[in-house]
Chain A
Amino acid sequence: MSLFTVVALLLIGALVPLLTERFGRAINTLCTMIAPAIGFIYVCSLIDNVTSGERIVEYIEWIPLVGLTLSMHLDGLALMFALLILGIGLLIILYASYYLSDKEAVGRFYSYLILFMTAMLSIVLSNNVLQMWMAWEVTSISSFLLISYWGQKSESRKGARMALTITGAGGLALLAGLLLIGQVVGSYELSVILASGDLLTHHNLYPVMLILVLLGAFTKSAQFPFHFWLPHAMAAPTPVSAYLHSATMVKAGIFLMARFYPVLAGTDMWFLIVTSAGLITLLLGAYVALFKHDLKGLLAYSTISHLGLITLLLGLDTKLAAVAALFHIMNHAVFKASLFMAAGIIDHESGTRDMRKLNGLWRFMPYTATLAMVAAASMAGVPLFNGFLSKEMFLAETLHQHAFGFLSWMIPVLATLAGIFSVAYSMRFIHDVFFNGDPIDLPKTPHEPPRFMKVPIEILVVLCIAVGIFPAFMVGDFLATAALSVLRVEELPYYSLSIWHGFNLPLLMSAIAIVGGLIVYAYRNHLYRFQSQFMETDAKHIFEGAVQRIVNNASRLYAMFDTGSLQRYVAALLTFTIILIAQPLFGFQNAFSIERMQPISGIEITAAVIMCLAAIATVVFHRQRLMALIAISVVGLIVSVSFARLSAPDLALTQLSVEVATVILLMLALFFLPKKTPSESAPSRVVRDLGIAAALGGLVATINYIFITQPLASISEFYLANSKTGGGGTNAVNVILVDFRGLDTLGEILVLGIAALGIFKLMARIKLAMPTTDVRGRPWSTDRHPVILSMISQGLLPLALLVSFYIFLRGHNLPGGGFIAGLITSIAIIQQYIAHGVEWVKPRIKVDYQNFIAFGVLIAAFTGIASWGFGYPFMTTWFDYFDIPVIGEIELASALIFDLGVYLTVVGSTLLILAHLGKLSTPERPKVES
């Protein structure tokens, strides 16, 4: 067994209830309890080790490269929380088995509950703060799932959403805080952080870190001003309220403050913020609780108040205050969980939680009433019960602090005031519900609950009394260990856990609280009347309203950007690009280092002038689309000529053949699209676009000039040196394509094939109106296939195929290769389509172009794979020279087969695109497939 195993076991345990649900409620409950029970026993077995001062640490290397380890530890604080989580969790599972009705999906409920238990346990056991944060977020999510368990109710959904929003937002703040802490300390390991001493409190960013971490803690622990989500979380089933929203999850924030107490506390800022938040929460919760008619509402505000009390204690500047805080965490968990469960029984057996209807239940359920009364007395801080001890310590500590300077006397006074209200609402819980006349039209006649439903409460109430009477025996060691791990000191200051400390000021304050509370309760009707003058505000409405407003504003903002106009998007994107590109250029000095410039002659200047004029003409005539097409084809032609001039014959050949294919493609498209572009751009838009285009053109030219004039250090020396010896070809460009970077080429032909197939798919089912006239309304020529063209092209076909075969074969050693040969073949065949029409070609070329693509890619891939067969890595080339009579020496290379694959893919893709597009304009258009 290890700590990791416990958490892993629980995680698996979350699935158990779903699997065993079909075997009935009893078996399901028992099976669900197995994992937590094993965990509980294991943690109990470690109590001795931990109380004797050992700190159990476990590591699992997760991603060691980036310093991420999973790590768990168990010290006093973690032990205390782990026992609370697992112990109370077990009782809650038992209780829920009776609480939920037979019709409800208890499997899902248990599953969420165990999930929560896993997460909560991971929080307290985590020795890595990021891991702790993950678990922290999972508790928020599982809390959301549990609150919304009765999702059919609107209040459940709203309460769940509110809880998730508040605690989730706090979680994000916490993450930011933890990341900052991790950066400052240099480690995310809790043990390292806690050992960093004053590093954090003396750091410049301390206020930021503190506030971020406290935001996380305050939202989770429902501290003012984030307390409002907790009462709405009471829409959850009562076991959830007892477990998550009073005993454990809301204590996660407190846990966090206690955990970081050694490194974050001790500054004025900590005391001021934490003390004020705690004090306000304590008072507000205690006061509001008295006016809640809903039983669970009363307990919810009481929980808020007690959480405030613990926070206040952590904010006080004494070590004993921290001890008292830990003690109260335990005591509160015990008595509040039992109170919630009692409230659940009352709700369950009488059908309502309204204290205006619930009266005199003593007669119907005396046993439950006794249990509830003990727990409520503990909550009020009556002697002999556990709540009294920690409250006494609390009152004693309020007397010894100076956080508010000269105004510090306010704290004990306000604490006593809160004590008065606390006694009053506890009194109300006892007197209003169990005595005070007869019940008023209850939906059901109340009676005692099933036997085992009371067991969890009994256990907790026994604990209340036992701790209350024999505190040192019950929890002495335990508390001391926890306090040592929080304070991180060698020795604790002296304190005594006993009922009687003699007559002193705290005892007097307790007495005032009890007497005052009874008086307040007796005159409560006056207070109710006073309170009824205030407008009732519902946090739910305020919150939902705020959410609505945020959503509306966000939608409006979004609508401003997302106008659905592609032109605007592109313009915005380009403007941003201009800024990004231009910005570094400003700082660039001596950019133009003059290398050896190439000489220029009249031919180049002429070509450049023609190209620029043609490009400008394309822009000027872009609304007369045919003109634009002619102009751009001139540009393409000059581009291929420049490639030829600039020592790139392969590129020139490719560009030339692609140029032909592109022009045919655009001509075909133009047949179906409008022949003219309407003039619809506003002058301002034209100016804007000209500006963007000019800026980008200028920038691209500048950058190009900068690098073109820099000395070149290329890796190509390698390719040139090894082209013949390693690849067996003298045309380095082709050898790179089919050999050195063959895998790239394989990917590229695959893309080509996919694009062609995508186009093929787009063309299926296309519904295009075929125009019968040209742009001026003249009918198309009836002479679709001029005789001279058909005759010449027919004669040219074998020639063209021969040329392409020649280009293909010589590619390895001279300009050429699969790409170029494929394009030439395609154009030769397309020419037949143009000259003769689809009707003529179709019966003569009976091939499926898709198969071409498939075969091409497969051949290329298998050539690569074949080298495995000879024990070489993927795509190793093989070549050799053979002497064949008559023809002479020839070279055979596996690269040639690869190039064949390229060739077939190019032919297949090009023809698939052009031929099918062409077919659309004829009666042979592809049939709509199913």
Chain B
Amino acid sequence: MELVYVICVGVLTFSGIFLCLRGRTFPVVVGLTMLGYAVNMFLFSSGRLHLNGAAVLGKAEQYADPLPQALVLTAIVIGFAMIAFVVILSMRARADLGSDFVDGREPPDTSKMIDKKRGQA
């Protein structure tokens, strides 16, 4: 199980990082969300993996470690706030700068791409 778990964490990290390296804001936001999952799972696993051991007293024989759970719980909520902030920031950037490229301006060497995009819009 541990092996499968870490493979999942690895794949999520891979996808998250790759998307974070894209040039447009939306894939970056999706990438950050993905990376958020990976990080939360990574942190969560520091309490090791347990089956049938919810940390509610009297409900199991061996309890899972409650501390990483508590920390990850708040991390999830704060992660949501962070994603929301980045989303609004990218919308604001597009509104103010006229481009959804991460640098706030169109990349200089892809003038053709810009034309294509304009054709769509």
Contacts and interface: CB of A to CB of B under 8 A. Distances in A.
Nearest to A721: B57
Contacts of B84: 665, 755-756, 759, 913
Given A567-B102, A625-B27, A647-B63, 6 more contacts: A612-B8, A615-B14, A658-B76, A701-B10, A733-B66, A763-B88
Given A658-B80, A696-B17, A651 B11 contact: no
B interface, size bucket: 35 or more
A767 B96 contact: yes
A556 interface: no
B86 to A, nearest CB: 10
Given A647-B54, A678-B117, A766 B44 contact: no
Nearest to B42: A704
Contacts of B63: 647, 720, 732
B88 A759 contact: yes
A402 interface: no
A700 B15 CA distance: 13
Nearest to B110: A680
B24 A677 contact: yes
B54 A649 contact: yes
Contacts of A752: 77-78, 81
Interface in B21-50: 21-27, 29-30, 33-34, 37-38, 40-42, 44-50
Contact of A639 (B40, B46, B57): B40
Given A570-B21, A651-B44, A730-B58, A768 B14 contact: no
13 contacts: A597-B1, A611-B12, A632-B33, A635-B12, A647-B52, A648-B44, A651-B73, A669-B87, A677-B24, A690-B18, A705-B2, A730-B56, A766-B92
Contacts of A650: 69, 73
A719 B66 contact: yes
Contacts of B57: 720, 723-724, 730-732
A658 B47 contact: no
B29 A692 contact: no
Contacts of A570: 20-21
| 4 smallest beta-carbon distances between A and B, as pairs | A701-B10, A697-B14, A732-B66, A693-B18
B77 A672 contact: no
Listed residue (B19, B45, B46) with the most chain A CB atoms within 10 angstroms of its CB = B19
A901 B17 CA distance: 35
A605 to B, nearest CB: 7
A619 B18 CA distance: 8
A661 B80 contact: yes
A interface, size bucket: 35 or more
Contacts of B17: 574, 689, 692-693, 696-697
Nearest to B75: A748
Contacts of A618: 15, 19, 30, 34
Contacts, number: 322
B121 A674 contact: yes
B90 A622 contact: no
Contacts of B7: 608, 612, 701
Interface of B: 1-27, 29-30, 33-34, 37-38, 40-42, 44-58, 60, 63-67, 69-70, 72-74, 76-85, 87-92, 94-96, 100, 102-103, 105, 107, 110, 113, 116-117, 120-121
Contacts of A646: 44, 49-51, 64
A748 B78 CA distance: 7
Nearest to A759: B88
Interface stretch (A287-295, A710-718, A859-867): A710-718
B10 A716 contact: no
Given A616-B15, A654-B73, A755-B81, A622 B66 contact: no
Interface stretch (A178-186, A736-744, A842-850): A736-744
B73 A737 contact: yes
A515 interface: no
A654 B80 CA distance: 11
Contact of B30 (A608, A666, A767): A666
A593 to B, nearest CB: 12
Contacts of A437: none
Given A600-B4, A604-B4, A677-B24, A654 B10 contact: no
Contact of B80 (A662, A674, A701): A662
Listed residue (B9, B60, B76) with the most chain A CB atoms within 10 angstroms of its CB = B76
Nearest to B4: A608
Listed residue (A672, A696, A697, A702) with the most chain B CB atoms within 10 angstroms of its CB = A697
Given A662-B83, A733-B55, A567 B45 contact: no
Contact of A744 (B25, B74, B83): B74
A604 B1 contact: yes
Interface string A748-759: 100110011011
